[in-house]
Amino acid sequence: RGEIDTLLPIFGEVLERLAPQFPDLHLAVPTVPHVEAAVRAAAAGWPLPATVTLDAAEKYDAFAASRAALAASGTVSLELTLAGVPMVVAYRLNALTALWLRPQLRVSYASLVNILLDRPTVPEFLQDRCRAEEIAPALTELLEGGPERDAQLAGLAEGAAAFGPGGDAPSMRAADTILNLIEERRR
């Protein structure tokens, strides 16, 4: 729940910045049962209409209809990659946790597609950079279209191809990929 308490206010600030430029934007907010109430409460105060869903099929339908996404770092970034949805990834850990974790990390990126491709295909706004004033312009570029969006779409296609073909649910493919990456890094 700490993640929700930290990120939802920031995401709300991003939406405050986007709403004047994109007044017809409709948000799809997939969530999980244990934080549903907090997500619904936050979404009720956002300046744009939001549909909060727990249903996996609705989540993938929302991905298919999305022009862009603002995502917390995690398996959702891989699911969005597989769906070909351009995204901005944002995440902020507790400052003490981040301080402890930093020396332990052996990766240069937080989002799984960037780790997989070993380059910054998806913009990441982590820790001190996880601020609405930095996130909103990057998301605006994806919503408007142009070279940044086109480059990311090409990178996402490459990332999806790196996953290989699969009939499993995107979340299962994401989990398998994470486990494979961990195993490779241990060697």
Q: State the CATH number of the domain containing residue 81.
A: 3.40.50
CB 185 within 8 A of CB 97: no
Average pLDDT, the chain: 86
pLDDT at position 58 is 94
Of residues 106 and 18, the one with the higher pLDDT is 18
pLDDT at position 177 is 61
Q: What is the span of the domain harbouring residue 77?
A: 2-186
Average pLDDT over residues 121-132: 93
Spatial separation of the C-alpha atoms in residues 137 and 15, rounded to whole Å: 11
Span 12-38, pLDDT tens digits: 999 999 999 999 999 999 999 999 999
Of residues 74 and 145, the one with the higher pLDDT is 145
Number of domains making up the chain: 1
Q: Rounded to whole angstroms, what are the CA distances from 24 to 39, 50, 160?
A: 21, 11, 30
Residue tagged 């494979």 (tokens) = 180
